[in-house]
């Protein structure tokens, strides 16, 4: 068995610290080595205990979690998992934390939750295995390619991502011009987070980015993000492609699921599609990407070096689903090459 992941739990609520500790301690591969009630206690505990991973509450007295996270990433980079309320304010703060350098975010449980903090232990173990990440400033806005330099073809782009996906998606989509190909995305996120993320992407990117709604037509210059929660995102209607939100059990433990999206794109678009799998835990999307490739679609995967978690891309690559494996900073340009119209007509 691999070494236990050593975790420091930071939360101003003793009740919440106890719940997180109980959830993590149920996994024999996780060892909670300490607790702290605020940033000052946490700073001393980090110095003394040198944890592999920190779980950090966003809203705390003395110094809020975002300010403390920034100090950690600048002075002593380590994997940090943020714990946030499932509110619009909590979602905005969580997205800011991910851009600062947090490994991932989890929502605080609601009354009646059968599995509070669901896959927190798995995220902690993945964080402990990940390379220590260097502090970076939030992703800057970069000028997108000029519209005149890109003639869009007829392809649909489908992207799947999970842990590390916030930064990865920003990096990819900031390369898109305003007249980008219709793009559908499933990113594993808690409910309420996806709307804030879509709004954030819409401010940062040249195309229109919106949370997908049932029946929304797929249009050039628009990007559709699967809403977190109770439904999966699919594409439907070959004559007038549109988004479909379907009620269905979780697939690969996720709802929305990347596999559900990729399966529908393979069936609807075939060779007139590009599939992309980015950083993330687990295997969601790998089988669907293989189905896309077998249907004639072009397929891309993020490489190990630039992935926060080389899980989903690794499984897809090992299955033979990935046509090209690329570093993150090359994926946006490659998508545009694959979706550009040919000079003699459209592709």
CATH-assigned architecture of domain 5-131: 3-Layer(aba) Sandwich (3.40)
Taking each helix axis as running N to C, give the angle between helix 193-204 and helix 165-173, from 0 to 180 degrees, rounded to the nearest 10. 30
Model confidence over 143-180: pLDDT tens digits?
Answer: 555 454 677 778 999 999 999 999 999 999 999 999 99
Domain ranges of the chain: 5-131, 156-339
Query: So what's the pLDDT on residue 16?
Result: 94
188 is catalytic: yes
Annotated active-site residue in 188, 232, 259, 263: 188
CATH-assigned architecture of domain 156-339: 3-Layer(aba) Sandwich (3.40)
pLDDT-derived band of residue 12, with 50, 70 and 90 as boundaries? very high
Annotated active-site residue in 84, 162, 196, 307: 162
Q: What is the separation, in whole angstroms, between the first and last Cα of the chain?
A: 51
- Residue 275 in contact with residue 251, Cβ under 8 Å? no
Per DSSP bridges, beta strands 156-161 and 208-211 are: unpaired
Strands, sheet with 208-211, edge to edge from the N-terminal-most edge strand: 208-211, 222-225, 183-187, 156-161, 273-277, 298-302, 324-326
284 is catalytic: yes
Annotated active-site residue in 38, 92, 104, 284: 284
Query: So what's the pLDDT on residue 136?
Result: 43
CA distances from 55 to 8, 16, 42, 60, 81 (A): 6, 11, 10, 13, 5
Model confidence over 79-100: pLDDT tens digits?
Answer: 999 998 877 778 888 899 998 8
Model confidence over 121-149: pLDDT tens digits?
Answer: 999 999 998 854 443 444 454 555 545 46
To 10 degrees, the CA torsion angle through 144, 149, 152, 153?
A: -140
Model confidence over 216-258: pLDDT tens digits?
Answer: 999 999 999 999 988 999 999 988 999 999 999 999 999 999 9
d(CA 72, CA 65): 10
- Residue 256 in contact with residue 281, Cβ under 8 Å? no
Nearest to 91 by CA among 237, 232, 190, 188: 190
Matching fold, domains 5-131 and 156-339: yes
């Amino acid at each position: 068995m691999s070494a236990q992941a050593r975790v420091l739990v930071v939360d101003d609520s003793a009740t919440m610290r106890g719940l997180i500790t109980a959830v993590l301690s149920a996994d024999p591969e996780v060892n909670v080595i300490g607790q702290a009630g605020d940033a000052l206690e946490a700073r001393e505990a980090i110095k003394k205990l040198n944890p592999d991973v920190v779980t950090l509450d966003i809203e705390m007295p003395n110094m809020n979690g975002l300010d403390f996270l920034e100090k950690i990433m600048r002075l002593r980079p380590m994997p940090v998992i943020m714990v946030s309320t499932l509110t619009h304010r909590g979602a905005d703060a969580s997205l800011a934390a991910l851009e600062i350098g947090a490994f991932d975010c989890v929502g605080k449980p609601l009354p009646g939750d059968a599995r509070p903090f669901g896959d927190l232990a798995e995220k902690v173990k993945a964080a402990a295995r990940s390379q220590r990440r260097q502090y970076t400033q939030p992703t800057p806005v970069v000028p997108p390619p000029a519209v005149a330099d890109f003639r869009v073809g007829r392809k649909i782009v489908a992207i799947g991502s999970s842990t590390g996906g916030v930064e990865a998606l920003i990096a990819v989509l900031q390369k898109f011009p305003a007249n980008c190909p219709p793009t559908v995305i499933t990113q594993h996120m808690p409910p309420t987070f996806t709307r804030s993320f879509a709004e954030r992407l819409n401010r940062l990117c040249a195309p229109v980015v919106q949370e997908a709604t049932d029946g929304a037509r797929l249009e050039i210059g628009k990007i559709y993000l699967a809403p977190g929660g109770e439904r999966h995102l699919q594409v439907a209607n070959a004559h007038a492609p549109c988004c479909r939100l379907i009620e269905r059990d979780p697939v690969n433990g996720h709802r929305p699921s990347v596999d559900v999206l990729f399966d529908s794109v393979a069936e609807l678009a075939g060779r007139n599609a590009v599939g992309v799998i980015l950083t993330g835990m687990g295997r969601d999307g790998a089988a669907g990407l293989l189905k896309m490739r077998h249907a004639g679609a072009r397929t891309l995967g993020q490489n190990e070096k630039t992935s926060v978690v080389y899980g989903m891309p690794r499984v897809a690559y090992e299955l033979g689903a990935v046509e090209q494996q690329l570093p993150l900073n090359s994926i946006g340009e490659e998508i545009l090459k694959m979706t550009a119209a040919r000079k003699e007509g459209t592709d």
